Structure 1
């Protein structure tokens, strides 16, 4: 088992090292505004596909991580609809905060003061990129359809076609089952990325390799009382399979909560001697498809939060390649640009 994990681990690490090499900076490369940028997971995928990115993020640690690894600008700023951004960007991307439809939200849609979408929409309206792309949780389509429709309607009023899909990161080389909503506003001719041509999905064991069999000095083990809590949690939730990290399958969704929260939902590794420990920062990063050279800044909890909130870079690169193909097609066939027809604007939300 150990030798198989090590062999496949090298295969996985080689894969992400190859896919996420940063391209040499080309001053003529398309420029991307990265809003609510976090630590740069979205940007890493775009930089690896040949774009230039400039990030805007309010958290200092995340900005430092972004600059340290991507060697580009990331401005520490609390974005508002009036925020000035760089001119001349071909693309705007981002993961706007989504409190308005969360369980604890005020359900006020675009009028919620904590909502990042008015800021995102304002940037699209003022800077008129050739394409805008945002990421959010899949529940946005189901918990509050009216809210999502507000956003789509606003983008369509700016004369964009609007399309969306729920993409699973595991289909793009990420060793994690992570479904997220991606929405694209474009000028015609957009094509979603094809799934990575892998015979099997990468597993957590292939991603973690020998790390999953060891206990580094900084390991944090579950206590007896935590083990009891987990047991009661799984019984109460009728959990059929323990919530431990299973090395023979892709991981379940990596989040801030299950990386560093002391809860029954916590991602944890069961060692050969039976002890269970929390994941390390590097293990969480690998499950998100960050290469080992990507170094996170700040406290451990800050790093966990950066990882859990990030768009997996491998999935980001798949999207970035589609964006690059779209831009090239737009440049080579400008006459094909058309206005969204009326029947397209009157979109039906049949989920």
Structure 2
């Protein structure tokens, strides 16, 4: 069976989607808790740093997937990666010219910034060794799209067909308005991103399917409580203090959306979590917290029910929030590898 490598594999967002499509995936992941999750889920796992490996260590691999750490580039972070974009783009060109960049990588304030270059290193090294990856699929936060566009130009010069763009998760049946930048490249024909299967969420728009598309999936439809007239907001991984955000939304504006939908009656109360929607809107001058359990957050990310997340609650929230939604990953992989996608009803089951 064809083997695909997943760099920065996390708890298996890409891999759940890939295995649904019949691919054999081996994930490289440095976080111990995420590796324990992967092993418990039966996913092939190498626990280690992708910088310490290369294509020569996995000669049977014919493709790679990857979601490099997003924290340096996220609008919710400190912005070190965003500030260093010009440097990252310059280093990508040095890699294309087969020049060493190891010393330059040490200049980043956040070492995670340079990890976005690892998939390009792997792809070029595999090609130079005579066993190129036939397919590459990468994902990151929206601000990384210029990096993916630069990669695409480099890979086209290496003989690949490449496509880039931003995809909104609810347009692929994910009950969440999560927008991410993707790159797909292939040596097998024309690279393409997947076509939407569901409508794009627009505030106040009719949720009925049109133009052959299915309606987007609401938060309440996915987990049985919460917002009934819109998908969930992006599942986040942390607060300003660095810990898990039990509301699983990013920032005060997004949190206000939850409260606004609840106060407007476009809401189903959660009967499992007493303080999710049943406390007064204000208590002691402060709003109550709408809490999303790890299980609910995982479902919003379209992990299968019972995916065996391991580690502390903090680590579980981090794993879930950092992952690419499984269903969105499945759509991207199907398009990238030319594999028929199951019908939406089947994929969501």
Note the 1:68-83 alignment, pairs <5 A: 68-69=40-41, 71-80=42-51, 82-83=53-54
1:260: Cα distance to partner? Answer: 2.3
Residue of structure 2 in register with 1:271 after alignment: 277
Residue of structure 1 in register with 2:119 after alignment: 120
Residue of structure 1 in register with 2:80 after alignment: 104
Residue of structure 1 in register with 2:307 after alignment: 294
Residue of structure 1 in register with 2:222 after alignment: 207
Residue of structure 1 in register with 2:99 after alignment: none
Matched residues in 1 for 2:137 and 2:36: separation?
A: 24
1:178: Cα distance to partner? Answer: 0.7
Judging changes above 3 Å, is the alpha-carbon distance between structure 1 residues 285 and 98 closer, same or farther for their aligned structure 2 residues? closer
Matched residues in 1 for 2:236 and 2:70: separation?
A: 15
Aligned residues: 260
Residue of structure 1 in register with 2:160 after alignment: 160
Q: Does the 8 Å CA contact 1:166/1:180 hold for their aligned counterparts?
A: yes
In structure 1, the gaps of 5 or more residues are: 1-27, 213-244, 328-351
Note the 1:1-351 alignment, pairs <5 A: 28=1, 30-69=2-41, 71-80=42-51, 82-83=53-54, 84-98=56-70, 103-105=79-81, 107=84, 108-109=87-88, 110=91, 111-113=104-106, 114=111, 115-127=114-126, 128-141=132-145, 145=146, 147-187=147-187, 188-196=189-197, 199-209=214-224, 212=225, 246-257=227-238, 260-261=244-245, 264=252, 270-274=276-280, 276-325=289-338
Matched residues in 1 for 2:193 and 2:169: separation?
A: 14
Judging changes above 3 Å, is the alpha-carbon distance between structure 1 residues 271 and 35 closer, same or farther for their aligned structure 2 residues? same
- TM-score by length of structure 1 reads 0.67
CA RMSD of aligned residues (A): 2.6
Q: Does the 8 Å CA contact 1:36/1:96 hold for their aligned counterparts?
A: yes
1:79: Cα distance to partner? Answer: 1.5
Matched residues in 1 for 2:150 and 2:52: separation?
A: 16
1:193: Cα distance to partner? Answer: 1.9
Encode CA deviations 1:23-80: one digit per residue, 9 max, x unaligned.
xxxxx3x2110001111011100000110000001001111111211x1321111111
- SS of 1:165's equivalent in the other structure is strand
Matched residues in 1 for 2:303 and 2:13: separation?
A: 8
Matched residues in 2 for 1:260 and 1:314: separation?
A: 23
1:166: Cα distance to partner? Answer: 0.9
